[in-house]
Structure 1
C-alpha cells in the first residue's frame, strides 16, 4: 500500500518516500502531486520517445531516452519534476551527483531535450516548468499541447493544438510554434522527421 503523504517535504524526503512501483508523483514546493495521465497522453509521449530513440540510434549519439528521471530545480530543495520524455547525455551523467542512487538530474547540460505533454494542469508546463527548466539551463524544451488546452496568451485565440519548441539562447528561451503538417524543427535533432499533424492524430 502507498504510504501516507506528509503535508510538506523536501526533495530528499520525497525520494525516500516515493513508493516503488506505485504511480507517478512530482513535488511542487514541498507538496506531493500524483500524476494521472490519460491513455492518449501516454500514446503521444510514447510516439516522441520512439522517434527520438530512432534518431539517437541512427546518428549513434551518446544520448538515451530516460524511462523516468527527476529534474531538480536549481534553487529549490522542495521540488522535483518528471518530464514526460527526457533525452539525457550519457557523458554528462558522469558529473551528476544524484544520478546513480536516485536518478535525479541537477544540471541543465545533462538534459538534451525535455518534453511535457499538456494535460488539464497546463499551468505547470507553461509557467512552472518553463521557468525552472530555463533557469536550470536545459537547452531545449517542448510543450506538446495536442488538445489545445493552454492559455490563450500562449497558444492564441481561438485555441488550437500546437507544439512549442523552446530553445535556450543566451540564457533565455526563444520559442517556435508548429501546427498542422509543419515539420517540428529541433536544434538538438535537426533531421528529425516528425510533423505536428502526426502527433495530433495520435492524440485523437
Structure 2
C-alpha cells in the first residue's frame, strides 16, 4: 500500500519531487480527481475545475481526428485523460492521446497507467488550456519532447486556436498541417472549434462528414 505524503502539495504548479513522491501523491484520495505530470525532477498536479469550454472543445478535437482518420483509412486508437508513465523518469496525463499507424499495439484496458517502455509513447498528444495554456506551451511541451511523442497540439480554449508542434530528435517546431495525420490542417480543427460555439454535435458532425468526404 502506498504511503501517505506528509505534506499537502501545492497544486496547479510545478513543485520539486522525486518519482516516488509523485506516485504516492497520485494514489492519495485528496488528489484522485487531479491530473498528474512528472518530468525532470518536478511534478504538477492539476486540480483546477474544467468548465464547459474545455469539455466541449475536447470532444470536438476528438471528433475531428476520429472522422479524419476514418475517411483517410488511418489506423488510430484514442485515449482520454489516460496516464502514461515512463517509470522513474516522467509521467503525463494529456487530455487526449492517440496512437496512429499500422504497428502500434493496444495496451490492456485496466486501471494501470500505460507503460511507455512497453507500448511506446502516444503518437499525438493534445492538451486544452485555459489557465494552463502558457504551461501547456512551455514545460509540458518539453515533457512531451522528452517522452518521444511525434506530434503535440495545444488548444487555446479562450481563442479556439490550435498551436501544433512536430517533434523529432527531442526538438519541436510549429506546424500548420499534421504530419501524423497527413493532410489534416489546423485551420480545419479551428473552424470546427469555432462552429462548436453555436452548432450542436449532429450539425457539426454532418459538416465534418461533408468536408472530409
Fold similarity call, TM over 0.5: yes
| 1:188 maps to 2:198 | no
Q: Is the 8 A contact 2:37 2:92 kept in 1?
A: yes
Calculate the TM-score normalised by the size of structure 1: 0.68
How far residue 43 of structure 1 moved from its aligned partner, in angstroms, is 0.5
Q: Structure 1: which 4+ aligned runs deviate by more than 6 Å? A: none
How far residue 136 of structure 1 moved from its aligned partner, in angstroms, is 1.4
Cα distance in 1 for residues equivalent to 2:113 and 2:74 = 21
Cα distance in 1 for residues equivalent to 2:86 and 2:36 = 12
**Distance change (3 Å), C-alpha of 1:101 and 1:198:** closer
Cα distance in 1 for residues equivalent to 2:73 and 2:28 = 37
State which structure, 1 or 2, has the greater radius of gyration over its C-alpha atoms. Answer: 2
Q: Is the 8 A contact 1:73 1:133 kept in 2?
A: no
| 1:144 maps to 2:155 | yes
Deviation digits for residues 21-68 of structure 1 (CA, Å, limit 9, x no counterpart): x63422453453314211011111100111112233334433211123
Which residue is equivalent to 1:70? 83
Which residue is equivalent to 2:127? 116
Which residue is equivalent to 1:158? none
How far residue 99 of structure 1 moved from its aligned partner, in angstroms, is 7.9
How far residue 115 of structure 1 moved from its aligned partner, in angstroms, is 0.7
**Counterparts of 1:28-67 in structure 2 under 5 Å?**
29-30=42-43, 32-67=45-80
Which residue is equivalent to 2:166? 167
Which residue is equivalent to 1:152? none
> Aligned match of 2:98 in 58, 80, 87?
87
Which residue is equivalent to 1:103? 113
Q: What SS does the aligned partner of 2:27 have?
A: helix
Cα distance in 2 for residues equivalent to 1:18 and 1:104 = 21
Q: Is the 8 A contact 2:36 2:43 kept in 1?
A: no
| 1:197 maps to 2:207 | no
